[in-house]
Structure formats: structure tokens, C-alpha cells
Amino acid sequence: MSEQTNENPQQYPEQLSDVLLVMDKEKKKIQAVTGVDENGNLKTVDATKKNQSQFMRVDRAGDLFTNFFSNFWRQLKDPTHFSFFKVPAKEAVETAKEMQKQVDAPTKEGEAVMAKHEVKEPKEQQQETKKDVEAPQATPETQQAQEKNEYRYKAEDVDWNYLAQFGINKERLEKDGQLDLLLKGYKTNKVYPTSVNFGAVIMRSDARLGFQDGEVGKPVLMMYGVRHEPNLKAPFFGHEFTKEDRENLLKTGNMGRVVELTNRKTGEKIPSIISIDHLTNEVIAFRQDRIKVPDEIKGVKLTEDQKRDLKDGKAIYLEGLDFKNSTNKNAHVQFNADKKYTEFLFGDKAPKQAQENDPKMFRNKVFSDEQYKQLTEGKTIYVSDFKDGKGNPYKGYVTLNKETGDYNFNFKNPNALKNKAQPAEAHKTQVAVNSNGKTNEATKHINEPLKPEQQKPKNNAQQQRQNDPNRPAKSKGVRR
């Protein structure tokens, strides 16, 4: 979450003298930026003299602006909806007028003014992806160095005083075990609170950290600010996300298939897999030819078909895994483009394609060998640990239709004549409301997910809300 505070403009150092202007591509109006709200919406005011004290002012050059604009861009809910311009503060109002004239009645002179001041999407936004999609094939020597996990940078080459401007210090990174990752050329595997002080604006946000090559090989800090949400609407290196692609990425973090991405410099088509950076919501790609699949995972040797599926971005289901601190021995495994290794997917994170390909799975529940044996024998089994769409448990009966291969679910025991007990009927309302989005007259004005076996308001507050839908929910507040 970002926080931006406007301060007295008389306190700005002289070098912090640029203003960020913006054009809404739909409204075709030039305004001055004042910040970003907590929902990722851009805050603006008209670029007039009376509003000058509210303008966001930024450093006109250098890494400070690069980091600022990178974080600023990522926090916007829909950054591609706008065009941004950086202009000298003293000229902001007049330049905004010139730009508005160009928007209303385009000329070559006006186009040159717009181009001179426009700020493009930060190049580092897709830095990790470009390494894999646009960079030339690594040499054997480079690959060997990466495999040995060698250091790419030296701690003594880092300007720690400069990093202190962002609230980052060496001791904290060492204590967290992140300094080694940074020096080896990787991003941190956690986010840090950072701040950038521009005098006019103090910007605070959470960000992943990384180093890039600066001048004379010196490492330069990059802050990968947390995006409001993954951008799956725009083309990604030429790939248009399908509905299924988006569903898989939002559910598991992995797209689940190989697609051809286009190197924008050479036009080369590169087979790649795509994942979401779970810390920053950034879309990340990894070349298929660089995926390395192990021969075994947690004591389970992989077949050639399983290795091929992993290289194709698919999820596979493994049984008998040697987890030291867990009684669960089964899990789906899938290669993650951001992490650059295989990861385990449990429960609701199991991908749709894996569920369809796994005959032992139904409603995100993996049946035990004994349960599956009983189902294939035509028996009805009672399952007490299903989870609804809100994560609450429910119970029911399952049978296998041998003709279609599909499972049938009932809250009532289909063999009721043989067994009159109906313990699962009480969960029917809960699952219908929480998982299927249906309504129930007794609970339709209750905003919270229904609890297991709940069929009516659970307390006086919910009963009052049910009777009066316009009555606001009572805030729990904070005791002081």
C-alpha cells in the first residue's frame, strides 16, 4: 500500500523541480498528478496556478526518479489508460496549456512538445522477462556460473548511503538472509517497506528489491513495487491471454502451458511459460529451453512423460512424497517462471487442468487409494472434509458414474433406505450460498460467508441486518 503526503512546496530543494502531468486517453484532458489512492486510482487536479501547491514534484533525473516512477506506475490500477509527462515546475502550467492545445488540435510542433516530455512505461517493469525473452542465449560459461550460484556483485561496491534514502540498510538485509540473493543477481524473496522523499511528496510503498548493472559494473538498486493487480488485459510480448489463461494465473500463479512470445528486437518467436510474481503481481516469463527438470522430487523418481509435462508448463500429480514435517504425502507439482523451479500446489491451488486429468480428484479433494477403490467398485463414500468457495468445510456423499466417468455428489445419502442417517443435509445451504452464489430467503441479506451447517442468522446483529438490508454492519473497531 502506498502513502503519499503533500508538504509545503517552499521546502523543496531546487533540484526537485519537475512536475508530473498526465493525459487521460479517454477524456483527452491534460492535468497535474497529485498521487495515487489506496485503491490504485490516479489522483489529479487541473494544471492551473491556484492548484500549483498540490502538484506532485519529482527529481528531474537519475535513479531516484527511475525508482519513484517504477513504483508509481505499478501502484496504478490501470496505468496504460494514461500518458505521463515530466515538465519543469516553473513551466508546468504553460506547458500543460500547450499540450491541451495539441490534444484538441494536433500539429507537428505540438507533437514534438508532447514527445519531449513524455515518460514511458518503466523499462525495468519487465526486466526479468526481458532477460529470458529478449536476451541472447547464455554462453556455456555463463550457464556454469549461474549453476554454481556465484556472486555477481560485491557488497563493498554497493552505495549503502544511497540505499538509506529509501529506508534500506545492509544489516537488515543480512539479518533477513536477503543480501546473498541480491549479490548473486536475484531479487529478494520478500517485500520491504520503502520510502522516497521528494520534499513535495513522500512516497511509501512495499517493494521487492534487486540490483542492476550501473556504471563501471557498480550495482544500482531497483525497487519492484507491488502492483494493484496483474495486468492480464494487455498483450504480453505478443501473447493475448485467453479466459482460461487468466483463470489459471489468478488461481495458481502459473498459466499451465507453453506459448510463443515475440522478441521485440529480433522478431524471434520464443516458446515460454508464464507465471505471476506472487509478491508483486508482475507477469513473468521464462524460456522453455532453459527449464531444468530434476530426475526426482522429494524421493519420487519422475517418468519421462512427467518430465515432459513439467517442461510444457503443466502440473503433474505425485504420490509418496517425502515431506519431513507433514503427514500429507501427495501434491501437484508445477514449474514456476518467476521462481525458476518446480513448486508444490495444494488444495484450492491445484490447477483446473490437473483436476481434469486426475481421476482421484473431485471438488479440489484428492481421494485416498482406499476411497478411490471403493468408488470404482460402485460404492458410495462419505466425505467429511470438502471445502466450499469460502474455505469452510462441508460434508457429503460421492458415487462414481461408471458410464460417464463423472462423480455424483449428494448431501443426502443416496442409499437412504440402507442408512437413514443424514448428517450432511445441514451443509446444503452453506455450499449453495458460499460456492454457487445462490441465495436463501433466511440469509440473503447477510454479507458474511455462511458457517458450516448455518441456515439462518447466527446472532441478533445478523437477524437485524436480515430484517433491515439497509442497516450497516457494525464495525468491530479497536479497543483502546
* Residue pLDDT, tens place only, 244-276: 999 999 988 999 999 999 987 888 999 999 999
The string of DSSP letters for 273-308 reads EEEE-TTT--EEEEEGGG----SEETTEEPPHHHHH
Per-residue pLDDT averaged across 295-321, rounded? 91
272, three cell numbers:
515460454
Average pLDDT, the chain: 76
Identity of the amino acid at 8? N
How far from each other are the two terminal CA atoms of the chain, in whole angstroms? 25
- Tell me if residue 175 falls in helix, strand or coil: helix
Give the Å distances, CA to CA, from 178 to 98, 181, 336, 343, 418: 48, 5, 20, 20, 61
Across-strand partners of 272?
A: 259, 287
Per-residue pLDDT averaged across 452-480, rounded? 58
- Tell me if residue 439 falls in helix, strand or coil: coil
Give the span between the Cα atoms of 341 and 429, in whole angstroms: 41
More confident residue, 135 or 256: 256
**pLDDT higher than threshold 90 for residue 308:** yes
Give the Å distances, CA to CA, from 339 to 121, 127, 286, 357, 458: 24, 15, 10, 25, 44
pLDDT of the residue at 81:
81
Per-residue pLDDT averaged across 463-476, rounded? 58
Q: How many helices (H) and strands (E) does the chain have?
A: 14, 23
More confident residue, 71 or 383: 383
More confident residue, 473 or 240: 240
Note the residue count of the chain. 480
pTM recorded for the entire structure: 0.51
Q: Which helix (H) or strand (E) holds 260?
A: strand 259-262
Least confident of 204-208, 306-310, 348-352, 473-477: 473-477
Give the span between the Cα atoms of 273 and 336, in whole angstroms: 8
Identity of the amino acid at 85? F
Give the span between the Cα atoms of 304 and 318, in whole angstroms: 14
**pLDDT higher than threshold 60 for residue 168:** yes
The string of DSSP letters for 74-115 reads HHSSSGGGEEEEEEEGGGHHHHHHHHHHHHHS--HHHHHHHH
Grid-cell match 521487492, residue found: 208
Residue 415: how many CB atoms within 10 A of its CB? 13
Nearest Cα residue to 124 out of 68, 169, 164, 61: 68
Give the span between the Cα atoms of 67 and 127, in whole angstroms: 13
Q: Helices 92-104 and 108-117, interaxial angle, to 10°?
A: 130
Contact 154, 170 (CB under 8 A): no
419, three cell numbers:
442408512
Contact 343, 333 (CB under 8 A): yes
Contact 305, 295 (CB under 8 A): no
Q: With bands split at pLDDT 50, 70 and 90, how would you rate the model's confidence at 218?
A: confident
Backbone angles phi, psi at 453, to 5 degrees: 70, 5
Identity of the amino acid at 122? P
Burial group, residue 203, by CB count within 10 angstroms (0-12, 13-18, 19+): buried
Q: With bands split at pLDDT 50, 70 and 90, how would you rate the model's confidence at 201?
A: low
pLDDT of the residue at 468:
64
Highest mean pLDDT among 172-186, 219-233, 440-454: 172-186
**pLDDT higher than threshold 90 for residue 126:** no
pLDDT of the residue at 421:
42
Backbone angles phi, psi at 330, to 5 degrees: -120, 145
Give the span between the Cα atoms of 466 and 132, in whole angstroms: 54
- Residue 37 carries which DSSP code? -
pLDDT of the residue at 476:
45
Grid-cell match 543477481, residue found: 185
pLDDT tens-digit map of 324-367: 766 677 888 999 998 888 988 876 666 554 455 567 778 778 78
Per-residue pLDDT averaged across 39-68, rounded? 75
149, three cell numbers:
550460484
Per-residue pLDDT averaged across 126-149, rounded? 45
pLDDT of the residue at 152:
86
**pLDDT higher than threshold 90 for residue 205:** no
pLDDT of the residue at 5:
47
**pLDDT higher than threshold 60 for residue 146:** no
Give the span between the Cα atoms of 173 and 167, in whole angstroms: 11
pLDDT of the residue at 181:
86
H/E/C letters for each residue in 185-225? Answer: CCCCCCCEEEEEECCCEEEEEEEEEEEEECHHHCEEEEEEE
pLDDT of the residue at 46:
92
Please list, residue by residue across 451-475, b when 16 or more beta carbons sit within 10 angstroms of its beta carbon and e when fewer do: eebbbebeeeebeebbeeeeeeeee
